[in-house]
Chain A
Amino acid sequence: MKPVTGKILWALLASLFVLPAAYLLLLSFSASWHFPLLFPDALTGKWWSLGFTSRFALLGSMGLSLGIAAGVSLLSTFAAFFSSRWMALSRYRSALLLSAYFPFVLSPVVLAAATYIFFVRLGWNGTVAGVAFAHFLIAYPYAVILFSGYWNERLLTMDALAATLGAGSFQRYRRVLFPLSRGVLALALFQTFLISWFEYGLSSYIGLGRVPVLTVEVYRYISEANPHVAAVASLLLVFPPLLMLWVNKRFLIRLI
């Protein structure tokens, strides 16, 4: 590919990401924007300040979403890291890996509908714990699938060697496996965070609208025909993943 063509393609791709965000930014600051004007005729900061009032409480929603996504991401990544190692050594490896695809074959919402009765029985429907657990049900198998190819012969042999050198299970994770796996752990943390962060169907279905995570709030403002606050909420939805991507770019770009 010629360098000029490459640059044009790159600019087109970048604009695909940048233009929607730029549109939302403009919408969140527009006082009035009438068709067919290309840009708003007046700008205001009131939607941002309104978004953080008690009526909209977007900051609270953002905090809640962050808390759930961070918790789900940490729990599912580390649970999957340990269990995928166990799976790699298991004689039932293929069957176990196949079962990890199950939630995705079903689709997350069908999975939620199928397991909803258990959430009701446990009293978890309409609770933060219930929504977080529902997210975990799809983030964990995803992370297991991600790690399944990671436990190769070399890494397992290195682990075994460390054991014969006197390292117990904790020491092996601390001194060998975690340091060697920083990249893939960062990738799994990031991906599972995104799964939970952008999850709408499960949050809405299990949360019954009583758990105001950011995705549920965005849809609510859109359905209420409140595009300006919806734009503010959407930007808040986009910001943390972008920040994470920037912070972890060293690991992620190398791995993706």
Chain B
Amino acid sequence: MNETNMLKVIKLNKSYGKERVLRDLSFSLREGDILSILGRSGSGKTTLLKILAGLKEPDGGEVLLRGQPVLHLPPQKRGMVYLYQETLLFPHLNVFENMAFGLRVRKIPGSEIRKRTEQLLHELGMAGHSAKMPEQLSGGQQQRVAFGRALIINPSLLLLDEPFGKLDSRTREEMQELFLRICREHRISVLFVTHDLKEALCMGDRIARMEQGQLKMYAKRSDFIRDAATGAKKEMDFWTGIREESKMKNNEQ
């Protein structure tokens, strides 16, 4: 095994009835890397993340985290936090307690909880909101708290299932920037699932595409763009066409 591999997935299989969702899926992820996984709805992206998090059982295969098999472990022992498209903040807890949730369940001393939570609240620009309840926050603020709640426990791996899907485009860009900065600073390994081409390109150190239950990894970003199946080339041609068309119109005027 490569020493720098944080995660190694070997020949993972999963079927729902007769439908094979994952077919001998294998890949690895280095420590501190962000892997973007692009795929259409129903391509098996969410199933993959849920199996890694321990929320679904695979039919076969192996998952190694830092070289150790984890499939036999319950979700709470894996150190992988799964973040959904919805923030799912606990509605009965305020911002501070939502953020501190993972520390409370680990029975960390109160003073340590206060220190770490306040520090992260500050880092995420949420320092003035600690007493607020989730429904008092905007979508972007809720997403920050959801990240903070995951980051505070120093997870081995973050599993993100289209986390910015419900945000407006501006907030989405802000959150992408914040997320990248925080992940780089904390050297967190991330699997980032999205169906948004641009987001996949922006967020990932490496990019993969999921199709028919298998993951195709691209060594370089240019390889991803060149592959017609990703749709990246088509998208770029579309925008280039628009730009040239408007240039021509400007010249005519």
A residues lining the B interface (CB < 8 Å): 154, 157-158, 160-168, 171, 175-176, 179-180
Contact = CB atoms under 8 A, between A and B. Distances in A.
In the complex, which of the residues A160, A166, A167 has the most CB atoms of chain B within 10 Å of its own CB atom? A166
Interface of B: 53-55, 74-76, 78-84, 86, 88, 90-92, 101-102, 104-106, 149-150, 153, 159
A59 B99 CA distance: 51
A161 B92 CA distance: 15
B115 to A, nearest CB: 19
B105 to A, nearest CB: 4
Contacts of A171: 105
A161 B80 contact: no
Given A163-B55, A164-B81, A166-B106, 17 more contacts: A158-B88, A160-B55, A160-B75, A161-B82, A161-B83, A161-B84, A163-B75, A164-B53, A164-B54, A164-B55, A164-B82, A164-B159, A165-B76, A165-B105, A165-B149, A175-B105, A176-B90
Contacts of B91: 180
A70 B115 CA distance: 44
Contacts of A176: 90
B224 to A, nearest CB: 29
A164 B101 CA distance: 11
Which A-B residue pairs are the 5 nearest by beta carbons? Answer: A163-B75, A167-B105, A165-B102, A164-B82, A171-B105
Contact of B76 (A163, A175, A179, A180): A163
A196 B126 CA distance: 50
Contacts of B81: 164-165
5 contacts: A164-B82, A165-B101, A165-B102, A166-B105, A166-B106
B130 to A, nearest CB: 18
A165 B101 CA distance: 8
A158 B83 CA distance: 10
Contacts of B84: 157, 161
B84 to A, nearest CB: 6
A164 B105 CA distance: 11
A161 B101 CA distance: 11
A58 B91 CA distance: 46
A166 B79 CA distance: 7
Contacts of A162: 90, 101, 105
Given A165-B81, A165-B105, A175-B101, A158 B90 contact: yes
B153 A166 contact: yes
Nearest to B153: A166
B80 A164 contact: yes
Contacts of A154: 86, 88
A166 B83 CA distance: 13
Contacts of A160: 53, 55, 75, 82
Contacts of A175: 101, 104-105
A158 B105 CA distance: 15
A165 B150 contact: yes
